[in-house]
Amino acid sequence: MKYDLVIIGGGPAGLSAANAAWEDGCRSICIVERDRELGGILNQCIHNGFGLHYFKEELTGPEYAGRFIEKLKGTGVDVRLDAMVLDITADKQVHIVSTAGGYEVLEAKAVVLAMGCRERTRGAIAIPGTRPAGIFTAGAAQRYLNIEGYMVGRRVVILGSGDIGLIMARRMTLEGAKVLACVEVMPYSGGLTRNIVQCLNDFDIPLYLSHTITDIQGKDRVERVVVSEVGPDRRPIPGTEMTFDCDTVLLSVGLIPENELSRSAGVEMDARTNGPKVFENMETSIPGVFACGNVLHVHDLVDFVTAEAARAGKAAAACCAGGRKAPERVIEVKNGNLVGYTVPQRIRADTDFKAVDVFFRVRAICGASRIVVTDSTGTQIAAFKRERMAPGEMENIKLPRVLLEKAQGDLTVSVEED
Amino acid sequence: MYDVTIVGCGVVGASLAYTLSRYDLRVLVLERENDVAMGTTKANSAIVHAGYDPAHGTLMARLNIRGSEMMEGLCRDLSVKYKRVGSFVLAFDEEQKAHLEQLYRNGVENGVPGMELLDGARARELEPALADNVCGALYAPSAAIIDPWGLCIAEAETAVRNGVTLKLRSGVTGVEDRGDSLLLHTASGDYETRYVLNCAGGWSHEICAMTGQQEWEAYPSRGEYYLLDKSSGNLVSRVIFQCPTAAGKGVLLSPTVHGNLIVGPNAHHVADPSDKKTTLAGLDEVAAVSRKSVPGVDLRQSIRNFSGVRAETSEPDFIIRPAKAMPRMLHVAGIKSPGLSSAPAIAEYAVKLLAEMGVKLTEKAGWDGKRRQVRFKELPETEKAALVARDPRYGRVICRCETITEGEILDAIHSPIPPCSVDGIKRRAGAGMGRCQGGFCGPRVLDILARELKCTPLDVLQDGDGTFILTAETKGGAKA
């Protein structure tokens, strides 16, 4: 089976990429989705707060996904549901398997990687203690509650203050569970401020910063956890132990872009994002293979996923239409002071764009500060003021083409606190 | 009345059940947990040792060598993952090099095939990740890696298919000597039997105590492990040991048959053989010692930590002999390392002792000692296509990390020893073993289990009895 464009994943990124590619004239598109319906993780995010940037209104996750699914229905995009991609080759053959279609090989001119991310687990952070039932990643618990309709526990301690953990603190409370504490190893929260306020503070759930779980106890089901304060080295401080009697531990300790397929295809990866390295049009190191959404870097707002994926979809459509010339000048975007990563990592200066959106995260809480972009000579190309920045909130700057044309060599993005 | 009753269905009990299933005997297996392979069998290094380590002349030495010889064929017959990868024992100084020579000589005496003493440069040539200060290695090409719970389950399933009776949730609480037979009191009722095999692993001393004479003391020893993501699975291609000490064979690094890297164990005595917790200090110790062998090991790639408890006792060797106070009971106890490696040979030896004790071994007609298991991801493309065309349920991937299909999960649920837990599916089909540790497939596996077992999702367990996953329906109720 041949398509111009094959999109791996039918969550918010895949949906937006498909719609954008269709709008730009690509008429042979297939989305491969492993679940039985489109929408991805949005389907289990029944809380509101989605779409404030993109639609200027507050939607729930399923409503937000629904808008794009409705739009897709008006196109001729093929959708393979309940279908798993087993392999993507460097020459863009996509091997899939499904109950309906059996084993198929889709040949594509362009591929958009939109597989999303997975949650870090207990094993990844090596929490000591026994191995009873009752330890869930926050997203798995969210699925049990919101999709399956089952509670996962009655007395809950949440480790990590990522957004899903915060949302689940509120959700479990509304379902009648007692959330005893949210425990965060860093001195700041990993989630959005609005979620701290609306999901913890509004329900009097204490947030223990610079704390972690140092022991899980219980033979069959969790019976209690020990929480300790940690020092600047993030090691527990003896003598600071607190014990919580609980039957459930939810983990919200980070998300990992799901790039096993990208790696097997040979896409060059960025160790800082755990995602592919991309150019300004979301193209990876393999020409014709694009990446967007949480597979590229973990976002905190789906609105930005939608915008990023639309760029990838448009670029993939252009790629399928052909006629691209090889770039002559590639600018590397480097991380300076306090900057954890940037996306894109590379800009092709002589391709067709008006401005490049550069996304990044700071590595620590920053007060009033300036984001400074310099070139290889140390000359400042652009600067942006910020009142406050936090690792839990993705930053975004726009670099117009005129500024990039002036730059010598590569760019460095750094943060200078006032 | 049973002829032989096996107490405990870890890899030793299962090997005995499998071996005895070929004879015309009424065989009963009593397991106190809700599944087989629930003790040390599911938490160990997953190594078939070459056999240079146990002192020459011991049962451990003899049975290790014999077990290692038998294992490859056995795993082929039972469709159990096994790979002969070889092992290194590393030396970091001259004293340790002398120790390697001693191990080499002991290995030659034991009959270990093909061993070689390598210098540091040659060792690093074969295993580039080794530390620069490795100055020698004992290479044993016959060492192998294996799926230990897979072997246990395959043997137990095949035994059941050949007429052996397995009773789960049947912990033995007492034994009565009736002269011509023994009466076993268990959680599921009383069973009368001519002979009993004490294969209770870390609890075999408790079964021994029921004879009225405590023949040994239990010294359970806990070992902690890291299991690393497949991205680290090729860091080394052989089992890498350090020089053994009194505490054991020490911290190893090894590829696993599932493609991961296993790192561990340390060794600490615990009071309770069921104490399988991990500790911060213990995992730190494993990390530090493993970095001495392979400095580049990246423990941030960890996907799971766990610990297992060795059935160490006051006797240095395996304890395979009739009970002193109850001649119809045969102890197969104190099976610490190299217990997994020796398991098939332990069964062979114990059955010989049973024959000496009076059990008549007549081979029965129609015994089928082979077992096949479908593993979708290991099939070539054309066979994958043919399988899905034949049965579309193999076309629905449930565990995305390990590419385990619904068809394979259904095979597990409808196998001779049907699992009742999500981890039971994990041990049989492999779903949930990967990097997301069941975060994605857990709810889906639970759903399939509830559907097939015709129970509510609230009844599905994570693992042993009492490990319930869900506590109630939400206010809105469960999905239709």
Residue B227 to residue B301: CA distance in whole angstroms: 8
List the single residue in A82, A99, A119 with the smallest CB-CB distance to B439: A119
Q: What is the identity of the amino acid at A408? A: Q
Within chain A, which residue ranges are assigned CATH 3.50.50.60?
1-119+254-324, 121-253
Residue A262 contacts B, CB cutoff 8 Å: no
Of A133, A141, A138, which Cα lies nearest the Cα of B462?
A133
Cβ contacts (< 8 Å) between B276 and chain A: which residues? 130-131
Q: What is the identity of the amino acid at A54? A: Y
Tokens matching residue A38: 């489109």
3-state secondary structure of B324: coil
Cβ contacts (< 8 Å) between B274 and chain A: which residues? 219
Tokens matching residue A97: 């398997």
Residue B169 to residue B186: CA distance in whole angstroms: 9
Cβ contacts (< 8 Å) between A152 and chain B: which residues? 469-471
Average pLDDT for B419-427: 98
Residue B291 to residue B300: CA distance in whole angstroms: 13
Residue A97 contacts B, CB cutoff 8 Å: yes
Residue B28 to residue B188: CA distance in whole angstroms: 13
Closest-CA distance of chain A to residue B412, Å: 19
Between A and B, how many residue pairs show a Cβ–Cβ distance under 8 A?
144
Tokens matching residue A298: 């973990």
Of B406, B9, B310, B327, which Cα lies nearest the Cα of B169?
B9
Does residue B265 have a cis bond before it (omega within 30 degrees)?
yes
Strand pairing of A207-209 and A178-184? parallel
Residue A239 contacts B, CB cutoff 8 Å: no
**Chain-chain contact of B458 with A144 (C-beta, under 8 angstroms):** no
Instruction: Put residue A39 in one of left, alpha, beta given phi > 0 → left and psi -120 to 50 → alpha.
Output: left
The model's pLDDT over B212-263, given as tens digits with 9 standing for 90+, comes to 999 999 999 999 999 999 999 999 999 999 998 776 778 999 999 999 999 9
Per-residue pLDDT at A51: 96
Helices (H) and strands (E) in chain A, counts: 9, 30
Of B160, B199, B171, which Cα lies nearest the Cα of B418?
B160
Q: Which residues contact A101 (CB under 8 A, 6 or more apart)?
A: A80, A83, B395
Cβ contacts (< 8 Å) between B279 and chain A: which residues? 128
List B49, B205, B268, B331, catalytic entry: B49
C-alpha distances in Å from residue B174, one per residue of B6, B68, B104, B184, B215: 14, 35, 45, 6, 17
Residue of A nearest to B466 (CA): A220
Per-residue pLDDT at B8: 98
Residue B251 to residue B254: CA distance in whole angstroms: 10
Taking residue A402's Cβ as centre, other Cβ atoms within 10 Å add up to: 9
Q: Which fold has domain A325-418?
A: Immunoglobulin-like (2.60.40)
Strand pairing of B144-146 and B47-48? antiparallel
A360 — phi, psi (to 5°)? -160, 170
Closest-CA distance of chain B to residue A32, Å: 13
Q: Which fold has domain A121-253?
A: FAD/NAD(P)-binding domain (3.50.50)
Residue A140 contacts B, CB cutoff 8 Å: yes
**Chain-chain contact of A152 with B471 (C-beta, under 8 angstroms):** yes
CATH architecture of A1-119+254-324: 3-Layer(bba) Sandwich (3.50)
**Chain-chain contact of B400 with A139 (C-beta, under 8 angstroms):** no
Compute the Cα dihedral for A65, A66, A70, A76 and give only its sign.
Answer: positive
The model's pLDDT over B97-129, given as tens digits with 9 standing for 90+, comes to 999 999 999 999 999 999 999 999 999 999 999
Chunked mean pLDDT (size 10), chain A, 418 residues: 97 98 98 97 96 95 98 97 96 96 97 97 93 97 97 98 95 98 94 93 98 97 98 96 98 95 96 96 96 97 97 96 81 96 93 91 95 96 95 93 91 94
Residue B28 to residue B189: CA distance in whole angstroms: 13
List the single residue in B436, B457, B471 with the smallest CB-CB distance to A118: B436
List the single residue in A121, A175, A219 with the smallest CB-CB distance to B437: A121
**Chain-chain contact of A151 with B435 (C-beta, under 8 angstroms):** no
Cβ contacts (< 8 Å) between A86 and chain B: which residues? 397, 403
B47 — phi, psi (to 5°)? -120, 140
- pLDDT of residue B130 exceeding 80: yes
**Chain-chain contact of A34 with B400 (C-beta, under 8 angstroms):** yes
pTM over 0.90: yes
Compute the Cα dihedral for A184, A188, A194, A198 and give only its sign.
Answer: positive
Confidence of residue B480 (pLDDT cuts 50, 70, 90): low
Q: DSSP for A238-265, please give it.
A: TT--EEEE-SEEEE---EEE--HHHHHH
Of A85, A84, A62, A59, which Cα lies nearest the Cα of A15?
A62
B97 — phi, psi (to 5°)? -65, -40
Tokens matching residue B9: 């269905």
Q: Which residues contact B374 (CB under 8 A, 6 or more apart)?
A: B387, B394, B407, B408, B411
Per-residue pLDDT at A206: 98
3-state secondary structure of A397: strand
List the single residue in B302, B471, B479 with the smallest CB-CB distance to A154: B471
Compute the Cα dihedral for B238, B240, B243, B247 and give only its sign.
Answer: negative
The model's pLDDT over B162-188, given as tens digits with 9 standing for 90+, comes to 999 999 999 999 999 999 999 999 999
Cβ contacts (< 8 Å) between B300 and chain A: which residues? 124
Within chain A, which residue ranges are assigned CATH 2.60.40?
325-418
Question: If you search the block for the tokens 């120790």, which residue do you land on?
Answer: B99
Of A139, A15, A29, which Cα lies nearest the Cα of A77?
A29
Question: If you search the block for the tokens 């061993």, which residue do you land on?
Answer: B115
State ipTM. 0.95
Of B268, B265, B351, B266, which Cα lies nearest the Cα of B312?
B268
Contact B184, B197 (CB under 8 A): no
**Chain-chain contact of A84 with B303 (C-beta, under 8 angstroms):** no
Average pLDDT, chain B: 97
Closest-CA distance of chain A to residue B404, Å: 11
- pLDDT of residue B66 exceeding 90: yes
Q: Which of B225, B268, B299, B305 to mutate to test the interface with A (most CBs of A within 10 A)?
A: B305
Q: How far is CA B451 from the centre of its chain?
A: 29
Strand pairing of B27-30 and B182-186? unpaired
Tokens matching residue B346: 């332990």
Catalytic site residue B49? yes
Cβ contacts (< 8 Å) between B384 and chain A: which residues? 97, 103
List the single residue in A126, A129, A150 with the smallest CB-CB distance to B478: A150
Residue A206 to residue A191: CA distance in whole angstroms: 15
3-state secondary structure of A318: helix
Per-residue pLDDT at B247: 66
Contact B443, A148 (CB under 8 A): yes
Using a pLDDT cut of 90, give the percent of chain B over it: 98
Average pLDDT for B421-428: 98
Question: If you search the block for the tokens 């639970």, which residue do you land on?
Answer: B446
- pLDDT of residue B458 exceeding 80: yes
Residue of A nearest to B465 (CA): A220
Instruction: Give A48's strand partners.
Output: A60
The model's pLDDT over B379-410, given as tens digits with 9 standing for 90+, comes to 999 999 999 999 999 999 999 999 999 999 99
- pLDDT of residue B289 exceeding 70: yes
Cβ contacts (< 8 Å) between B280 and chain A: which residues? 128, 214, 236
Residue B246 to residue B240: CA distance in whole angstroms: 18
Residue A271 contacts B, CB cutoff 8 Å: no
